[in-house]
Amino acid sequence: MSETNPTIPAPALNLKQVTSLLGRTERWIALRELCKEPVLPVNELGRRMGRSRGMASHHMALMLKLGVVKSVYGRMYSLTPAFRPAPGTFEIDFGHCLVRLDRPSS
């Protein structure tokens, strides 16, 4: 299990929110990529998802609403501290489940 920062409160996602978040492959990809890179612009997330910038924005809007990501410098995104995995790991604890994201190849 990933280590979480004890000063950050536990995530407050309910089961319906978790299933909504994890219901699309694109969001799994975004989570994996944001584990790999601390901050990514929406157009780069779209490229890595294999989707347009508009579709990437759509997915990021849901993740932002759920509090999983935060917007930095406009259209750049980062995982919120409560969901950032321990360095070198690709596991995110959503409370209802522990998500193990495949390791990026690069």
Q: Which domain holds residue 60?
A: 15-99
CA distance 106 to 95: 29
* 104 in a structural domain: no
CATH code, 41: 1.10.10.10
Q: How many Å is the maximal CA-CA distance in the chain?
A: 37
* 4 in a structural domain: no
Average pLDDT over residues 7-34: 84
Q: What is the DSSP letter of 51?
A: S
* 35 in a structural domain: yes
How many CB atoms neighbour CB 81 within 10 A?
A: 12
* 20 in a structural domain: yes
CA distance 63 to 21: 7
* Helix (H/G/I), strand (E/B), else coil: 79: strand
How many structural domains compose the chain? 1
* 67 in a structural domain: yes
Q: What is the pLDDT of residues 24-71, one digit of tens each?
A: 999 999 999 999 998 999 999 999 999 999 999 999 999 999 999 999
What is the pLDDT confidence band of residue 104, given thresholds at 50, 70 and 90? Answer: low
* 59 in a structural domain: yes
